[in-house]
Chains A and B, each alone.
Chain A
């Protein structure tokens, strides 16, 4: 009984602010982009590694893959470290105009698949 009361209260709290969240469905595969530039910030974290890239037009947030897959593909924390020059091919988010999901990345002449 107390548990259901707790959940009701929790839910009332949760719904107090509702906004659309971007998920894997909200990337526009019909408009692929290539983002090239130095890595500005790098979060080698789950559920997806995320970097920001200082491209010529703007700073892009580039969503990569889960860390275990990154490591398996050779795209380790050192490869996607701050300061590295990267080229990321992928799909822009339809929700956040400065974000894209990378299909593949190229660092130091080496290409790593993210899927």
Chain B
């Protein structure tokens, strides 16, 4: 089943670290649990940010609320990347060919690009705003895209086991 996978991913799966993940009783399930726990924090933080960009939670100035949530989001994303790498490495040559995983990877790239575009193009306009001020259209677009993309990433992640 591994013959179609690019050599890099076959090598990753055959590495000593990947073997350790597979042979440990607790490492793989721990990464699985860690991935879900990180996901809940990530979804919470991103949800707060996106709702704020869309004009909700407007009692606090956007800069303050976004800064708080950003810290949680970055930490949770790092947790997801770490635990996700463990899950991926164990079966790299299979997962890399999984269509749900491929779509997920593309969506993660889209989500990160959405963040980059927001940071470059919308952040300054948003963070000077007072509490209750109406949000610029570009902020709403970024918030809406973010919500849609990250929910789709989660759905794709869960779908990897079924394709």
In the complex, which of the residues B24, B97, B109 contacts A8, with contact meaning CB atoms closer than 8 Å? Answer: B109
* Residues B34-77 near A (CB distance < 8 A): none
Contact between chains at B109 and A46 (CB < 8 Å): no
Select from chain A the residue with minimum beta-carbon distance to B113: A4
A103 → chain B, closest Cβ, in Å? 18
Give the size of the chain A interface in residues (CB under 8 angstroms). 30
Chain B positions within 8 Å of A23 at CB level: 98, 160-163
Q: For chain B, give the interface size range.
A: 35 or more
In the complex, which of the residues A8, A13, A25, A96 contacts B163, with contact meaning CB atoms closer than 8 Å? Answer: A25
Judge if B136 is at the interface, Cβ distance under 8 Å.
no
Contact between chains at A46 and B106 (CB < 8 Å): no
Contact between chains at B112 and A18 (CB < 8 Å): no
In the complex, which of the residues A21, A47, A67 contacts B98, with contact meaning CB atoms closer than 8 Å? Answer: A21
Select from chain B the residue with minimum beta-carbon distance to A47: B28
Q: Which residues of B does A touch, CB under 8 Å? A: 1, 4-6, 8, 21-29, 90-91, 94-99, 101-102, 105-106, 108-109, 112-113, 115-116, 160-163
